[in-house]
Structures are given as C-alpha cells and as structure tokens.
Amino acid sequence: MMLVGVALGLCSVALVGRAAWIQLVNADFYQRQGEARFVREIPIPTSRGMVTDRNGEPVAVSTPVESVWGNPQELLRHPERLPELAQALGVPADELMSRLSQRADKEFVYLKRRINPDQAKAILARNIPGVFSQREFRRFYPQGEAMAHVLGFTNIDDRGQEGLELAFDEWLRGKPGSKRVIRDRHGRIVENIELVSAAEPGKDLTLSIDRRIQFLAYRELRNALNTYKASSGSVVVLDVATGEVLAMVNLPSYNPNAVGGGSQDAHRNRAVTDLIEPGSTMKPITVAAALSAGKVTPATRFDTSPGYMSLGRYTIRDHHNYGVLDVSGIITKSSNLGAVKLAEPLSPQYFYEFIRSFGYGQAPNSGFPGEAIGSLREPARWDGLTKATMAYGYGLSATPLQIAVAYAALGNHGRLITPTFVKGQVNEARQVVKPEIADQVLRMMQTVTEPGGTATQAAILGYHVAGKTGTARQAAAGGYARRYTTTFAGLVPASNPRFATVVVINDPQAGSYYAGLVSAPVFRNVMEDALRLMDVPPDDIDTWLAAQARGEAKRQASLPPLPAALEEPAEDPTIPPAMVGGGGVP
C-alpha cells in the first residue's frame, strides 16, 4: 500500500509539473497549437468602386452576392447527404463527389459562387454538415452591349480583365480586410477575436463617356450594319477642346453580364486595336502638309485630266475626270490625282514627320489597354510609290481613334490633345500645324457636305459640317480584295467644332459601299441628336430658316382647297369694308 501510495504521489507530482510546464512555462507554444486548430483569419470582402458616365449615371456597379463553400473533410463524413446537396447546388452528384474526393485533405472548397442571397439561404436551410456561405460582390453593367468594349469586365474574383476595368483595376479594386475568429469543429464561427485590418472600398471613377451619345452611336451603327449587311464597324466621338472620349462603340459586341457566351472575337475593341488604311480621310492632312510647306496656296490649281495617271507600273485613278481643281476642290471631289500632285514637291522626311505629328504611327496614349500604334514606315523604307499612295490614304494604317484624334487637332486650330476616358483630366496639347492653316483646311472640308461634295448625306440642318469620306479597298494576300472599308470623319459645328467623330464600317455587302452613302448618314444621325443633347447652338441659321420656309410652302401647297362656302367672300360695295370676312357676315 505504501509503494502504491508513493507511486500515485509521484504521478500526481509529474502531472502537476507537466501542467505547470504547459500552462506557465511553454504556454505560448501550446496556445499557438490550439489556435491553429480553432482560430482562423478570414478575409472581409470589399466592394469595387462604382463607374459612372460624365453625368453621374452608373455604368458599372457592384452588388452583394453569396458564395456557398464547404469543408470536404466534414462533407465526406456524411456521404448520405451529398445527393441532397448536389440537388440543391444543381450539379450531378457524381461530379460533386469527385470534387470533394480530390480535396479530401483540405478544409475549404467553393461549391457555388456569386449567387443570389436567397438561393444561398435556401441551400443553408437544409442544414447539411460542412456547408457554409460568405459574402462577395458581383459586377453589373446596366448598359450591356452598348458599353461592353469601353468598360470590359471582371472575373469571378472581381478583378478587371479587359477595358477600363483592367486599366483602372488598382483604383477600383480597393483593399479587402481581415479578421481573426474562432470556429468550432463544424466550421461555424463562434467568436470574433479581433479585427486584423479594416476593408477599404474601391474608389469611384467618373468617365468622359456620355451614355446617351454612346447609345445613339450604338443604335445607329447597328442599323447601318443591318442595312448594308456589313461585318463590323466602329464609332468614336471626341470632345474637340478637351480630348475627352464621349462615345466609343464597336459591333459585333457582347454582353459583359454574361461573358461566357458569344464569340471571343466580339470582345475586341476595334476602335483602338484594329488597323485600317485611312483612304481619302488622309487628304485633308496632305493638304495641310502642302500648305504648311508653302508649296501651294488655297488658290493653286491642278489639272487632273484625264482622270488617271501612270506611276511606274501602276495607274492611279479618280472616280471621274474632274479636270482643273483648286486645293479646296481636291478635297471636295476627293481627287486621288490632286492629292498625289500636292504631295509631289514635299520631301519624304518632311511628309513623314508631318503625318506623324498628327498621331499616326504612334500610340494615342489614352490609357486604354492594348492600343495599336498603326503602321507608318520611315522614309528609308519607302519605294517610288509610297509617298504618292500615302497622300490619298494607302500604304499606312491607323485605328479609328487615331483618325479621330487627328481630325480633332484640325478642329482645335491645329492643337493636338491626347485623348482621355476620364472626365476632367487635363492632358497636354501641342501645336502640330499653324492655326490659320488648320482653319483653312476646315473650311475646305466643309464643302464635302455641301452640294457637289461627296458626303451631302452628312449635312445637318442648322449646322455647318466639315468632314471627309474615305472608301478604301481592304488589303489581301498579293494586293487588294474587292472588299471595302468605308470611313467618314467629321467635325461639327464647323465654325467652332465641338465634336470630332469617325464612323468606320467594314465590308458592306448590300447596296452601296461608298462612304458618303454608308458611313456619312450614321455620322449625321448621331451628331444631330448629340448636338441637341449637349445644347450646342446652330451656326447655320440662314439654311435652317430657308428649309423651314420651303417646308411651310410645301405644306401649304399640299393642303386641299377650301370649300366654296368657307372661302373668304369677295369685297361687295354694299357691305361695309369692316365687315368683310368678319363674324357679322353669315
């Protein structure tokens, strides 16, 4: 008995010593071990910043959703509940079992992400062991396809993947927080220990885009593509004075709220990534180059007869034999021969540097991901035809945005401003051509939309419109195909331009393929409403009043004659003049 008592006493001393060692001497180690089993640091989700148009209307917002997750170890201990869980999740039972089995050594797996909170609540209401939910956020785009290429979209983790969502991802994303909690053996949170770091919501972003003009451009471009059975198209609208992008539309488009559907080719923002040969929209730049070099004056005349000319083994042609044209007439009639003759006295290096100063051959630096720089070969790589073909828009390539920036410079008295998608951002402007020359070219471009020009369908009642058409054949293996890119670039109102707009339609298959008939009406329809929405005063009152008078005269002429009983009676000397036609006469 004494030996047993001594043994039990020694065991008690050992247990007390061990307890003291664990709880007093080495307490930190065992505390960490315990926390590793029950204490978890979990993230605190934060909402992504809202994106609005220039008027404060939301175009990208984040909405709270729930994500259902599970503990594979706990779920696999209750295999009889898995068919019920699969039914609630809407997935095959064998697929769910396979996913859980592959992660049998883990404690976390997403079962269904970013679903309606009511759906998550219904799943949790089944009380299946090892199933939980957590708060997340999902991006929603109210404008859908109309703004898809500008905004882009986010992935399932709410990270920007394309467009401005990608360009401003760090600004919009914010910073998730974290907190330390205690979970029970079922994974349920039983206590919040401490806040490790507070969540910082993303910052809002105000775009230069006007969603009203954006939708107008989308609607008119879609109608044009349907009418002419064209494969694709783009519209870019810039504010001439600030360089702000007011609208940028591409078709075909996609739904950013359901990114999985549709063709990947439709995700491309063609206005900043796709290159086209500018065609005749290059001629105003050629005219500006010739005037700046002092080689011609606006009154200089060129003989373009007989409507074609040989250059090496190639022949350059005009649509008609325009005979003798002055510099303005070259733009009005869109004469290829006139453009070639204008560029002829210019040195290759001067012509190259002048074109480049308008933004061709270099990135627009708008901040949009994936901007193309275009193609503008240096003079050392030119052949005997390069300068001639570049004069009327072949042999170089540019994006619709680059063309819009160049035309905005002409409308801004020769000052080129880097484009921006952020409202109020002030970018540096540089003078690329003398103001008086830019204004002269602008007046010449005005004749394009007037009677006798190539784009009378771009004319807007009450406003002077300056613009230029461009109908270019598309490059193909071994030369050019019988497929066309139709472009119209314009400025309105011409007396003090507010908007620079470029319309590009690729490969029209039905009806006409001329830019003056395909792209110019899109410009007119978009700008007509945009001018009204932005309260831009008309600068051609006389034409508007004349049109109103003609319309009233036509209306009066179309009215049927009044019945004889209602006609004003002829003056009768027996009736006092004051009563003729008055209420006193039956």
Are 484 and 474 a contacting pair, CB within 8 Å?
yes
Structural domains of the chain sorted by starting position, each given as residue range(s) with its CATH number in brackets: 42-206 (3.90.1310.10), 211-254+265-543 (3.40.710.10)
Cross-strand partners of 257: none
Are 245 and 366 a contacting pair, CB within 8 Å?
yes
Are 170 and 43 a contacting pair, CB within 8 Å?
no
Using CA atoms, how far apart are residues 504 and 404, in angstroms rounded to an integer?
A: 11
Using CA atoms, how far apart are residues 584 and 586, in angstroms rounded to an integer?
A: 7
**177-183/205-206 β-pairing:** unpaired
Are 46 and 201 a contacting pair, CB within 8 Å?
yes
| SS3 at position 113 | strand
pLDDT of residue 563: 57
Active site residue 280: yes
Are 572 and 580 a contacting pair, CB within 8 Å?
yes
pTM for the model:
0.82
How many other C-beta atoms lie within 10 A of the C-beta of residue 544?
15
pLDDT in tens, the chain (586 residues): 999 989 999 999 999 888 887 787 777 766 666 655 566 666 667 888 999 999 999 999 998 888 898 888 888 888 888 898 989 888 898 988 888 888 888 888 889 888 888 888 998 888 888 888 888 888 999 999 999 999 999 988 889 999 999 999 999 988 877 767 666 665 566 666 667 767 788 899 999 999 999 999 999 999 999 999 999 999 999 999 999 999 999 999 999 988 776 678 899 999 999 999 999 999 999 999 999 999 899 999 999 999 999 887 888 999 899 999 999 999 999 999 999 999 999 999 999 999 999 999 999 999 999 999 999 999 999 988 999 999 999 999 999 999 999 999 999 999 999 999 999 998 989 999 999 999 999 999 999 999 999 999 999 999 999 999 999 988 877 778 889 999 999 999 999 999 999 999 999 999 889 999 999 999 999 999 999 999 999 988 887 787 777 776 777 777 666 554 444 444 444 334 433 333 333 3
Q: Backbone dihedral region of 85: left (phi > 0), alpha (psi from -120 to 50 degrees) or beta?
A: alpha
Q: Which of 285, 273, 277, 177 is nearest to 234 (CA)?
A: 273
Are 228 and 511 a contacting pair, CB within 8 Å?
yes
Question: Half-sphere exposure (CA, 13 Å, Cβ side) for 512?
Answer: 11
pLDDT of residue 286: 97
Q: Which of 62, 208, 280, 357 is catalytic?
A: 280
pLDDT of residue 574: 39
Largest CA distance in the chain: 158
* CA 112, chain centre distance (Å): 32
CA angle 475, 387, 335 (to 5 degrees): 75
CA distances to 270, 491, 503, 559 from 525, in Å:
21, 14, 11, 30
- Is the omega angle on the peptide bond into residue 306 within 30 degrees of 0, that is, cis? yes
Q: In this structure, what token pair is assigned to residue 580?
A: 């003729």
- Residue 362 DSSP one-character state: S
Which residues, at least 6 apart from 287, have a Cβ–Cβ distance to it below 8 Å? 327, 330, 331, 339, 342, 441, 444
CA distances to 83, 158, 227, 323 from 236, in Å:
53, 28, 20, 35
